[in-house]
Amino acid sequence: MKHSKFITWLSAALLGISSAAFSSGMTAKAAEKYTCTKDKTLFYYYNTETHEARIDRYKGSETELTIPSNIDGYTVTSIGPSAFSGSAVTKVSIPDTVTIICGSAFKNSSLTSVTIPASVTKVLQDAFSGCTSLTSLTVLGATELQARSFKDCKELSEVQLSDDSRTSRSYKNEAFDNCPNLHTVNGVTALNYKTDSNGIKYPFIDPSIETTIRNHFSRSVNVGFVNDYCTDLCEYILRTETSYDPEHPENDWMNDALKARQLHDWLIRHCEYEDGDDGETPNDNENHVASSVFLSYAVNTRGAGVGETVCDGFAKAYTMLLSKAGIESYYIGHDIHVWNLVKIDGKFYHVDVTDDNFKNWTDQKTRYWSFLKKSLNGGASQINNTDHPLLMVYKNNITNEIENCPEDYPDNNNDGILDYDFDLDGKSFQYDFVDDLNAYQGLLRFAYGSLSSTDQINDRMADVLYNLNKARKGYWDYFNTSAPVSQTVRAGGTAEFRVRLFGDDLTYQWQYYNKNTGAWENAPYNGAKSATLYVPANSTTKDMQFKCFVYNKEKNYIYSYPVTLTLI
């Protein structure tokens, strides 16, 4: 027996099990003894001073087992390291006398479900890892789940977790790691969907499990509903912030540089740097997992629609967004900071969203000082991550590219947009002279002032991009569809004629052609001095023609071709 005892204590040391894992009286001293039950299936240590017992090893063949709360007068307070590791036990009842479940206690066992009683204060490293048949878990009390305690539980599909329980915050100490089938939390489907006002589906986390998200899954890796939420949110962001449209790819007018800018901006608007409040630190694991930005955004960590993270979370989220957009992005850095290397039009550039996020604090204006640059921070190397599928889309070795980016992206006014690209097609002015000049001379000078220089219009291109994205059209498509069109309306209905133009202080005047006078006169209908004219469809307005005069801030004007109201 002494020999068996020595091996067990040696195993505990090798597993890194601290003395805190055992009751204060359960140390290797004269008061502690080792024995087994009469049927020699359950081996345990017992302490003659504390009258406590620790399960050491199960050697039986039963598939359903009730662990006794008391053995020969000794209270069972802990389940020792590897006690049931690899066993055929499918169901186990843990008594409410147990306070500690030690490292690897049930590792690689055949458990299908387990309930952790409220008496348990800690579930230590790898306690249930590799339980590939485990489908359900219940944690009843204020239990701390430590590193990898439920790693590789690939069939785990539902959990019931007390609001008082939590996963350790320690860096890389994910309790739930590689649980791809987990989708039900506290009796509800964790991931749900709604449709926005534009008919685009977006994901959301059931608000009833917000505490559980904060306490556990904000620190998880490769969990089913978390991975799906991040993937689907990335697609929603891409669809709403850029021209990406998987259902109508012909409408995708934005070039990669513009998409990279838009996704950079979303991160800055919706995530802030870890503030350290409430006992949090930048080293907390929720700041370093792939879901860091997206889950903290989901639970409104810093207010409505705003999360928090550190450089690790920013760089991972940016790679995930860009990968979803089909843009090569790599996670690079060194011991104290990370950022991204991004490929645009065959060239590599550095992007540091964290740095631009810091510079955004002064006046809330989005900065691009660390966006698409030749170099940022020295001594960087490529770092490969596997904590979300979108981080593994691009696997090229870019080591030689990190220090050899040829140039900064041409953006001297730091608005994140190619200089003098007036039609926003991603082509430099010298290679797209005619189209850019036509765009400048046409709608843009009218919109922002006929005396505007090329530099002044160049400084307004962020406004142009905003308006085009809002309209979901590229420049020339927008320009060609900005005028009103003829309407066919049933009698008794209302015809709507609309001008779609953006600009500073634009004013409108609609006119109609008066057949009685043979002249154009100001329209007497609703909206006659706005961008949209509302005309009742009746015998009086049948076949009536309309046009709109649009005046800019200098009172220069343009007007539309006549359009007709047809009655049916």
Tens-place pLDDT, residues 465-491: 999 999 999 999 999 999 999 999 999
pLDDT band at residue 550 using 50, 70 and 90 as cut-offs = very high
* E strands present in 431-555: 487-489, 494-498, 507-514, 519-522, 532-536, 545-551
∠ at Cα 516 (514, 520), nearest 5°? 25
Cβ pair 436, 421 in contact under 8 A: yes
What pLDDT shows up at residue 377? 77
Query: Residue 30: pLDDT above 90?
Result: no
Average pLDDT score over residue span 281-296: 94
Average pLDDT score over residue span 409-438: 95
Cβ neighbours, 10 Å, residue 117: 17
pLDDT digits (tens, 9 = 90+) for 511-548: 999 999 999 999 999 999 999 999 999 999 999 999 99
Cβ pair 544, 512 in contact under 8 A: yes
Query: Residue 5: pLDDT above 60?
Result: no
Which among 99, 168, 90 has a CA at the least distance from the CA of 136? 90
Exposure of 49 in the CB half-sphere (CA atoms within 13 A): 10
What is the C-alpha radius of gyration for the chain, rounded to an integer number of angstroms?
Answer: 32
Q: What is the mean pLDDT of the chain?
A: 92
Q: From CA 374, how far away is CA 366, in angstroms rounded?
A: 20
Q: What is the torsional sign of CA 255, 260, 263, 265?
A: negative
Query: Residue 119: pLDDT above 50?
Result: yes
Query: Residue 12: pLDDT above 60?
Result: no
Q: Which of 21-25, 328-332, 551-555 has the lowest mean pLDDT?
A: 21-25
Cβ pair 272, 302 in contact under 8 A: yes
Query: Residue 234: pLDDT above 80?
Result: yes
Domains of the chain: 2-182 (3.80.10.10), 429-479 (no CATH), 482-567 (2.60.40.10)
Query: Residue 397: pLDDT above 80?
Result: yes
Provide the terminal-to-terminal Cα distance of the chain, rounded to the nearest Å. 99
Reduce the DSSP state of residue 319 to 3 states and report it: helix
Could you tell me where the DSSP H helices lie in 124-206? none
Query: Residue 19: pLDDT above 80?
Result: no
Average pLDDT score over residue span 146-157: 97
Residues 6+ apart with CB under 8 A from 14: none
Q: What is the torsional sign of CA 52, 55, 60, 62?
A: positive
Structure tokens at 306: 């705003």
What pLDDT shows up at residue 211? 95
- Report strand pairing: 74-79 vs 100-101: parallel
What pLDDT shows up at residue 280? 82
Cβ pair 162, 182 in contact under 8 A: no
What's the pTM? 0.87
Q: Which of 66-70, 296-300, 357-361 has the lowest mean pLDDT?
A: 357-361
The residue type found at 229 is Y
